[in-house]
Structure 1
Amino acid sequence: MKFEPIEVKDKLNRTIVIRSAIADDAEDLIKYLKVTTEETPYLIREPDEVAITHEQEVAFINNCLNSDKSLLLIATLNGRHIGNCSLNPIGSYRRYAHRCEVAIALYQEFCGCGIGRTMLEHMLKVATKMGFEQAELEVISDNKSAIALYEKLGFKKYGSLPDNMKYASGHYASADWMMKKL
């Protein structure tokens, strides 16, 4: 799905542009994956697992643009990619047609500035327009700031996934399954 660009102000009064990702963003998105997996333990990949090619990323972006049930938003500051947010159906079966999953991440230096909240608010509005009835996500249980944000947006925890991730160091992290009725 295509999302027309909007300008919003963050908590520092900077102008942030939120828009659909386009094929020209592929390299920035790959770089973003590599950097953010190094910055935080809360994402699903180890840094050395980011092996997406330019062609694969362009195909993913184009699939989102051409879908009526998926959306990939990016946030930019002065033309610089600073984060993104995605929306996808849980599955292709009619019994799952009411459910979507959302995911978001920002470069660490932009966390806590209200950008993630704004992106998610717009994403949830789009999800409702797409006909989804509930939005779901997984979040690492000790990611307190993300959980606080999701709760402010109306998500509730409905379950835990013990030992959901195993890090290269050998330790485990549990995750919470959260959902919001739209």
Structure 2
Amino acid sequence: MKFGPIEIKDKSNRTIVLRNATPEDAEDLITYLKVTTAETPYLIREPEEVIMTQEQETAFINNCLNSDRSLMLIATLDGKHIGNCSFNPVGNYKRYRHRCEVAIALYQEFCGYGIGKIMMETVLKAAKEIGFEQAELEVISDNQNAITLYEKLGFQKYGTFPDNMKYADGHYASADWMMKKL
């Protein structure tokens, strides 16, 4: 789906640009995935599992750009990629057409400035405008900062997946399933 670009201000009054990811962003997005998976235990991959090629990432970006039901939004500050937020259909079946999954991540140094909230609000508005009726996400149960944000945006918890992830050191983390009517 085509979007933006738009400019927003974060809590520090910095100008953040929200725009579609483009094929030219593929290498930056792969680096971003490697860094963010190492920065936080709340994402689903280990850093060494980020193995997609630039060609694969470019194909994914092009699929999002050419889809009328998917959006991959990136945030930049002074031209530098600082985070992204997306939505995708839950499935291709008619009975699932009303549902989308949302995801967001920022480099840790940009958390706490309101950027994630604005990105989520932007993505949720776009999802509603194209006809999705509910947005869903999965969040690690002890990721209180993210849960607080999602609740402020109107998401509610509807269930928990015990031992949803198993970390390299052998410990487990549960995940909450949250949903918001659009």
Shorter-chain TM-score above 0.5: yes
Percent identical across equivalent pairs?
77
Query: How far apart are 1:130 and its partner, in Å?
Result: 1.2
The C-alpha deviation readout for 1:50-79, integer Å capped at 9, x for no partner, is: 001000000000000000000000000000
| Residue identity matched to 1:76 | T
Q: Deviations over 1:5-41 (max 9, x none)?
A: 0000000110000000000000100000000000000
Q: Does 1:130 align with 2:130?
A: yes
Q: Separation in 2 of the partners of 1:70 and 1:40?
A: 25
Match of 1:158, SS state, is strand
State the one-letter code of the partner of 2:38: E
Match of 1:13 in 2: 13
Q: Does 1:112 align with 2:119?
A: no
Residue 55 of structure 2 is aligned to residue 55 of structure 1? yes
Structure 2 gap segments, 5+ residues each: none
Q: Residue in 2 aligned with 1:26?
A: 26
Number of the residue aligned with 2:153: 153
The letter for the 2-side match of 1:7 is E
Give me the whole-angstrom Cα distance separating, in 1, the residues matched to 2:157 and 2:132. 19
Question: Which residue pairs with 1:76 in the alignment?
Answer: 76
Q: What is the alpha-carbon distance in structure 2 between the residues aligned to residue 3 and residue 166 of structure 1?
A: 36
Is it true that 1:98 corresponds to 2:108 in the alignment?
A: no
Aligned mates of 2:99, 2:125 — CA distance in 1: 14
Cα distance in 2 between the residues matched to 1:170 and 1:47:
16
Mapped to 1, the partners of 2:160 and 2:47 lie a distance apart of: 25
The total of aligned residue pairs comes to 182
- Do structure 1's residue 175 and structure 2's residue 175 form an aligned pair? yes
Residue 103 of structure 1 aligns with an amino acid whose one-letter code is: A
Query: Residue 13 of structure 1 aligns to a residue in which SS?
Result: coil
Please state how far the C-alpha of 1:115 moved relative to its aligned partner: 0.3
CA drift of 1:85 comes to: 0.4
TM-superposed deviation, 1:4 = 1.3
- Aligned-residue Cα RMSD (Å) equals 0.4
Supply the AA of the counterpart residue of 1:167. Answer: Y
In the TM superposition, structure 1's runs of 4+ consecutive aligned residues that sit over 6 Å from their partners are none
Q: Which amino acid aligns with 1:79?
A: G
Partners of 1:50 and 1:19 lie apart in 2 by: 23
Paired with 2:4 and 2:10, the residues of 1 have a C-alpha distance of 19
SS of the residue corresponding to residue 83 of structure 2 reads: strand
Residue 144 in structure 1 maps to residue 144 in structure 2: yes
SS in 1 for 2:57: helix
Rounded Cα–Cα distance in structure 2 between residues aligned with 1:14 and 1:65: 27
Give the distance between the partners of 1:112 and 1:19, measured in 2 at CA. Answer: 20
Partner-residue secondary structure (3-state), 2:68: coil
SS in structure 2 of the partner of residue 64 of structure 1: helix
Q: Aligned equivalents of 2:2 and 2:160: distance in 1?
A: 34
1:121 match: 121
